[in-house]
Amino acid sequence: MKPWIHIALPKGRLGEKAYGMLKAAGYPCPAIEDPGRKLIFENPDLGVRYFWVKPSDVSIYVERGAADLGIVGKDILLEYQPDVYELADLGIGKCRMAVAGKKDFRDPVGQTLKVATKFPNITRGYYAGKCRDIDIIHLNGSIELAPILGLSHVIVDIVETGTTLRENDLQVYEQIVTISARLIANVASYQFKDEAVNRVLGCLEKQKEDVK
Ligand code: PRP
């Protein structure tokens, strides 16, 4: 009997796109298309089970083996450095990590720079590379408020369309890294369910080529 393959999808727009790719790649699951409040969906004919997971938690499920595979933004991999295999760049969920601030922002040279972010590790690494002394203010959302209310000088955050920055009179000052969604695998699953894992990987790679 073929082993089941468990796939953690990030709840939200990226997860919907990722499921669209998996469906087109030959891994449909009709139940997920009318989800209600359910979080687990399966297609027994294909032996595939999907979970909707908070995007920043996908790598935790995969690292600990609750899921064999997951779809996750590169930002999460850079921030948490989970012990997983990164199998493919899916070419979706493209955005960038950037430093942004108010339009009249000037770096207060000689003072500690106050930086608000959801990504303290990426932020620490970036400014360490520039030998800039910073104070990290770790927030969980609506980061753009911080410089407007004087909580921080700048933010380090994801910029996708740029709409949130624009509508709050903020602008990008420096780009840190480009981001896109990755297919990740649990280390043991990659070894012991290699056939199933490689089949999903191959189908997704082919699907990515087809839509190019
Ligand atoms: C993310 C990010 C920005 C916004 C960028 O926030 O933190 O706020 O999206 O997208 P844009 O450039 O297309 O406007 P998210 O929607 O995850 O909400 P959050 O503020 O709760 O983190």
DSSP per-residue codes, 42-100: EETTTTEEEEEE-GGGHHHHHHTTS-SEEEEEHHHHHHH--S-EEEEE-S-S-EEEEEE
Give distance in angstroms: CA of 188 to centre of ligand 1: 34
- Residue 59 pLDDT > 70: yes
Residues whose CB is less than 8 angstroms from the CB of residue 184 and which lie 6 or more positions away in sequence, other chains included = 58, 59, 62, 69, 70, 71, 72, 77, 82, 84, 85, 86, 87
Query: pTM, whole model, 2 decimals?
Result: 0.93
- pLDDT-based confidence at residue 34 (cuts at 50, 70, 90): confident
> Looking at ligand 1, which residue's alpha carbon is closest to its atom 1?
158
Give distance in angstroms: CA of 57 to centre of ligand 1: 17
Per-residue confidence (pLDDT) for residue 207, from 0 to 100? 81
Per-residue confidence (pLDDT) for residue 3, from 0 to 100? 85
Per-residue confidence (pLDDT) for residue 36, from 0 to 100? 82
Q: Which residues line ligand 1 (CB under 6 A)?
A: 141-144, 157-164
Render pLDDT for 140-149 as a digit per residue (tens, 0 to 9): 999 999 999 9
Give distance in angstroms: CA of 165 to centre of ligand 1: 9
Q: What is the mean pLDDT of the chain?
A: 95
Render pLDDT for 148-202 as a digit per residue (tens, 0 to 9): 999 999 999 999 999 999 999 999 999 999 999 999 999 999 999 999 999 999 9
In terms of DSSP H, where are the helices of 98-169? 120-129, 145-148, 163-167
Render pLDDT for 65-112 as a digit per residue (tens, 0 to 9): 999 999 999 999 999 999 999 999 999 999 999 999 999 999 999 999
Per-residue confidence (pLDDT) for residue 38, from 0 to 100? 87
> Looking at ligand 1, which residue's alpha carbon is closest to its atom 19?
141
> Looking at ligand 1, which residue's alpha carbon is closest to its atom 18?
141
**Cα–Cα distance for residue pair 212/196, rounded to 1 Å:** 25
**Cα–Cα distance for residue pair 172/159, rounded to 1 Å:** 9
Taking the CA atoms of residue 120, residue 72, residue 60 and residue 96 in that order, the dihedral angle to the nearest 10 degrees is 0
- Residue 1 pLDDT > 90: no
| Angle between helical axes of 194-211 and 13-24 (0-180°, round to 10) | 100
> Looking at ligand 1, which residue's alpha carbon is closest to its atom 2?
158
Per-residue confidence (pLDDT) for residue 211, from 0 to 100? 67
Strands 134-138, 113-117: pairing kind: parallel
Give distance in angstroms: CA of 85 to centre of ligand 1: 27
